[in-house]
Structure 1
Amino acid sequence: MIQEISTRLLKQLEEDLEHTCFQIKDPFQRWTTALKLIREALKRLRTHFSDLKFKDKEEEIPIFKVIKPSFYQWQIYYTELYNIETNLPYGDAEKQTAFLEQELFYIERFFRQYAFLYQYYKLNATELDNLYFVRGAEMQSILLPEVPDLDPEFSTSCDYLFSKFKAFEVLKDWVLERLLHLKKKNIDPQALSGNLQVREMNWTGDTIDLAEVGLGLYHTGKLNNGTAGLGEIFRWLEEKFNVNIGIPAKRFAELRKRKRLSRTRYLNEMRDSLNLKMENEDEYVPTGKKKPNSALNDDD
């Protein structure tokens, strides 16, 4: 029950956060709006959690190892992102690069500082779950960081740390993409040829389909000689097609959850449609007759 409820709440929260990021450009307003959404979602999760009666520790562990960190990570992420955006030097690419490299060093240092627990998190280990993710478990260790005042009824020794691991991984991607953008040089502006007026194009399909396209472009390295970042590609597609695709890591996770044979459903559909068109064009046509609706004619 809690898994279904939390999945629904998290999906709604992340959709609301994506909409907020797309609509609000002012860092402070975006941060405060995001925090309001996150805290409300955590409050609702906390309410549902209070109604549960656990049979054993095995039912309690996933709440604090996976579910709560999936929500709380966004509070940490948006707070850290706000601090970076508001302290980023303006107008000087070299100073911005130096600043972001320092932020990247801070993130990597955090992972090294808690290397044992970070590896435990990355490997999805389970041996110490009874200590890390059960309320009231005695856990005194120099390996654990100082954490904010926690609600003992809705917190364990390591749920905050796992939330921070998740948040910092997303933040690291943001910093790397921004650094890549700053370090690009000699980018020629696009030149328009001819006087053809192209009307505005809007994406009218599911956004997950466009996410497939963006991921495909990124992993095949066909944009800017492979230097275009994934987040940069997503923002470019959003701008060109007037749509909000969302956070790259989350859309990739959605694709991974699909059945193995249909993970790239839209790309497969594109391939099949194009192949079908070419096969139809290759069909035998009696002499002297033209195939109707041909995509290419000899006169083209």
Structure 2
Amino acid sequence: MIQEISNRLLKQLENDVEQVCSQIKDPLKRLTMVLKLIREALKKLRLHVSDLKFKNKTEEIPIFKNIKPSFYQWQIYYTELYNIETNLPYGDADKQASFLEQELLFIERFFRQYAFLYQYYRLNADELDNLYFVRGAEMQSILLPEVPDLDPEFSTSCDYLFSKFRAFEALKEWVLERLLLLKKRSIDPQTLSGNLHPGEMNWTGDTIDLAEIGLGFYYTGKLNNGTAGLGEIFRWLEETFHVNIGIPAKRFAELRKRKRLSRTRYLNEMRDSLNLKMENEDEYVPTGKKKNNSAISDED
């Protein structure tokens, strides 16, 4: 029950955050609205958890090991992202690259600082879950970070740290994507030219559909002879169509979770629509008259 509820809450939160990020360009205003959405979602999750009647302590583990961190990671991620965006040197690609490389070192240093617990997280180990993810469990360790605003009814020893692991992995991906983009732009300045893009186009469909297209580009290797990164493709689509698609790994995971719908629903729809158009054009008309739905002209 709590898993279903949390899945709905998380999906709604991520959709709302995505919409805010696509519509609001001012970093501070965007962060303020995003944090408000996350706090509201966490508050709802806390209320649902407080209503649960646990048969034993181990039933708490999935909530604080997986469910809560899947929400709280975004509070950490967007706060850190705001700090990077607002401190990024303006206009100078070399200075920007140097700044981002320092951020990458900071992230890697954080993972090394909590190396044992990070390995525990990466391996999805469970031997110490009764200490790490049960409320009230006694654990004194210099390995654990200070936890801000600890709520004993909605916190355990390691749920904050696992949230931060998730957030910093997503942040690392963002930094690496920007570094790759900067390096390619410094090698080929023509990529900065606005003349490379056609007239303004806005994406008016669901962003998950555009994610399908981006993933299709990446896994078929048809952009830049297969050297274009997935994050780079997503950012290119975002800039071209003026939307926020989101984190590639998260969107890929959404497609994998589809059960009722085809995992590639939109790509299938494109294929079927194009095939239907061609089949209609191929139909034989005995009277010699042209069909109402004329063929696509070269000028279209």
TM-score strictly above 0.5: yes
Q: Quick one: distance in 2 between partners of 1:64 and 1:125? A: 14
Q: Quick one: distance in 2 between partners of 1:227 and 1:19? A: 30
Amino acid of the residue matched to residue 71 of structure 1?
F
Q: Quick one: distance in 2 between partners of 1:190 and 1:220? A: 26
Tell me the SS of whatever aligns to 1:75: helix
| Number of residue equivalences | 294
Q: Match of 1:266?
A: 266
2:211 is the alignment partner of 1:207: no
Q: Which moved more, 1:260-269 or 1:18-27?
A: 260-269
Q: Quick one: distance in 2 between partners of 1:24 and 1:282? A: 47
Q: Match of 1:81?
A: 81
How far the C-alpha of 1:141 sits from its partner, in A, is: 2.6
TM-score by length of 2: 0.84
Q: Match of 1:55?
A: 55
Q: Match of 1:175?
A: 175
Amino acid of the residue matched to residue 53 of structure 1?
K
From the superposition, tell whether residues 83 and 206 of structure 1 become closer, same or farther in structure 2 (CA, over 3 Å).
closer
From the superposition, tell whether residues 279 and 83 of structure 1 become closer, same or farther in structure 2 (CA, over 3 Å).
same
Q: Match of 2:121?
A: 121
Tell me the SS of whatever aligns to 1:262: coil
Identity %: 83
From the superposition, tell whether residues 192 and 205 of structure 1 become closer, same or farther in structure 2 (CA, over 3 Å).
closer
Q: Quick one: distance in 2 between partners of 1:71 and 1:114? A: 21
Q: Quick one: distance in 2 between partners of 1:261 and 1:43? A: 31
2:120 is the alignment partner of 1:155: no
Amino acid of the residue matched to residue 92 of structure 2?
D
Amino acid of the residue matched to residue 121 of structure 1?
Y
From the superposition, tell whether residues 287 and 154 of structure 1 become closer, same or farther in structure 2 (CA, over 3 Å).
closer
Q: Quick one: distance in 1 between partners of 2:4 and 2:243? A: 28
Q: Which moved more, 1:148-157 or 1:242-251?
A: 242-251
Amino acid of the residue matched to residue 5 of structure 1?
I
1:27-106 aligned at under 5 Å gives the runs 27-106=27-106
Q: Quick one: distance in 2 between partners of 1:30 and 1:80? A: 13
Q: Match of 1:255?
A: 255
CA RMSD of aligned residues (A): 3.0
Q: Which runs of 5+ in 1 are unaligned?
A: none
Tell me the SS of whatever aligns to 1:205: coil
Q: Which runs of 5+ in 2 are unaligned?
A: none
Q: Quick one: distance in 2 between partners of 1:13 and 1:199? A: 33
TM-score by length of 1: 0.84
Q: Quick one: distance in 1 between partners of 2:63 and 2:176? A: 31
How far the C-alpha of 1:172 sits from its partner, in A, is: 0.7
Q: Quick one: distance in 2 between partners of 1:200 and 1:191? A: 11
Q: Which moved more, 1:248-257 or 1:96-105?
A: 248-257
